[in-house]
C-alpha cells in the first residue's frame, strides 16, 4: 500500500537492475579474470539445476515477471544485452505494480478502505502539495488506516493514539466501535468540532462502507481541514481519557 501511495517501485526491481548491471560488468572483464570464469561456469549449469545460485534466482524472477528470451543474457558478446536489460527491468517493475494492485482487488486482509480509493500505481498528488510534512503524515495514515485488523494506532506529533475497534468508544454512549469512522462521523463528543469544518457538510457518509469518501478526492483545503480536525479531536480524546 505504501508503494502504491508513494508511487515507488518494488525493491525487487531495484535488486534485479543491480544484479543485471553487475552481470554486464563481469561480462566485459578480460577472459583471464576469475570472476568472469565463475560466471561462465554458472551460465553453463542446466536450467533445472537444484543448487541455488544468484544467476538462477535472477532468471527465475525475470521469467516469473513475464520477460521472454532471457537466453540473450547468456550470450556474453551480445550487443543488444544492455537494451534488453533496460526493457526487462521495466517489464518486471510493471508486473510487480500490477501484483500490488491485484492484492488490493483481492480483498486485502489489512484495509478495505484503500482498495475502494486506489486504482492505479501513480504517486498521490498530495505528497507534492505545499503543506507541512506533519499534515502529509497524518493524511497518509488516514488513507492507509487498517480497518480489518483489531489494532489501530495513529501517530500525531510523536504522540501515539491507540484505538480499540473491537470495543465501543469509551468517551460517549453511542455504542459504536472505537475507530476512525466513529471519530469522523458518529462520536457526539466531537460534534462541536465537526461543525467548524465545511468538509463535514460536503460528504454524506452514512456507514463505514462510504468512509473512504473523505480521503478519495482532496485538495489543499480539504487536507488542512481533515488534519486540523483530527488533531483537535485527538487532543480532546487524550483529555477525556487522561492519556
Binding positions for Zn ion, rule: CB under 5 A: 169, 172, 187
Q: Which residues of 66-104 are buried (b: 16+ CB within 10 A; e: fewer)?
A: ebeeeeebeebeeeebeebbeebbebbbebbbeeeeeeb
- Output 92 or 187, the one with its CB closest to Zn ion: 187
User: In sequence order, what E strands does the chain have?
Assistant: 152-156, 159-163
For the bound state, the minimum distance from the C-beta of residue 187 to Zn ion, rounded and expressed in Å, comes to 3
Nearer to Zn ion, 187 or 233 (CB): 187
Nearer to Zn ion, 33 or 167 (CB): 167
Residue 100's nearest CA partner among 17, 209, 212, 9 is 9
Q: Which residue, 67 or 169, is less far from Zn ion as judged by CB? A: 169
C-alpha cell, 202: 460536503
Whole-angstrom distance, CA of residue 217 vs CA of residue 223: 10
CB of 211 to Zn ion, least distance (A): 15
Is residue 131 within 8 A of residue 142, CB to CB? The reply is no
Q: Which is nearer to Zn ion, 143 or 237 (CB)?
A: 237
Least distance (Å) between residue 188 CB and Zn ion: 7
144 CA to centre of own chain: 8
Question: Cα-atom radius of gyration of the chain, to the nearest Å?
Answer: 25
Give residue 157's region: left, alpha or beta (phi > 0; psi -120 to 50).
Answer: left
C-alpha cell at 210: 462510504
Q: How far is the CB of 171 from Zn ion (least distance, A)?
A: 5
Nearest-approach distance from CB 190 to Zn ion, in angstroms: 8
Residue 153 sits at φ, ψ, to 5 deg, of -115, 145
Question: Is the CB of 131 or the CB of 236 nearer to Zn ion?
Answer: 236
Residue 23 or 229: the one with the smaller Cβ distance to Zn ion is: 229
Segment 127-132 long-range contacts (CB within 8 Å, at least 24 positions apart)? 127/5, 127/6, 129/220, 129/223, 130/220, 131/220, 131/223, 131/224
Shortest distance in whole angstroms from residue 156 CB to Zn ion = 18
| Shortest reach from residue 120's CB to Zn ion, in Å | 35
Amino acid at each position: 500500500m505504501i508503494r502504491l501511495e508513494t508511487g515507488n517501485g518494488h525493491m525487487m526491481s531495484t535488486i534485479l537492475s543491480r544484479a543485471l548491471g553487475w552481470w554486464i560488468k563481469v561480462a566485459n572483464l578480460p577472459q583471464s579474470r576469475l570472476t568472469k570464469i565463475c560466471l561462465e561456469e554458472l551460465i553453463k549449469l542446466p536450467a533445472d539445476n537444484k543448487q541455488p545460485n544468484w544467476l538462477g534466482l535472477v532468471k527465475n524472477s525475470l521469467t516469473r515477471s513475464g520477460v521472454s528470451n532471457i537466453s540473450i543474457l547468456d550470450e556474453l558478446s551480445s550487443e543488444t544485452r544492455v537494451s534488453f536489460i533496460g526493457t526487462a527491468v521495466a517489464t518486471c517493475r510493471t508486473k510487480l505494480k500490477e501484483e500490488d494492485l491485484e492484492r488490493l482487488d483481492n480483498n486485502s486482509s489489512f484495509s478495505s478502505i484503500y482498495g475502494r480509493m486506489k486504482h492505479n500505481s501513480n504517486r498521490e498528488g498530495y505528497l507534492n502539495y505545499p503543506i507541512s510534512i506533519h499534515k502529509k503524515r497524518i493524511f497518509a495514515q488516514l488513507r492507509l488506516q487498517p480497518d480489518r485488523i483489531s489494532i489501530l494506532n495513529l501517530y500525531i506529533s510523536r504522540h501515539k493514539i491507540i484505538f480499540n475497534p473491537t470495543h465501543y468508544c469509551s468517551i460517549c454512549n453511542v455504542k459504536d466501535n472505537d475507530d476512525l469512522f466513529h471519530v469522523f462521523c458518529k462520536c457526539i463528543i466531537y460534534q462541536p468540532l465537526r461543525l467548524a469544518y465545511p468538509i463535514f457538510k460536503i460528504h454524506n457518509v452514512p456507514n463505514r462502507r462510504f468512509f473512504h469518501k473523505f480521503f478519495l478526492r482532496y485538495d489543499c483545503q480539504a487536507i488542512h481541514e481533515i488534519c486540523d480536525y483530527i488533531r483537535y479531536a485527538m487532543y480532546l480524546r487524550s483529555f477525556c481519557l487522561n492519556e
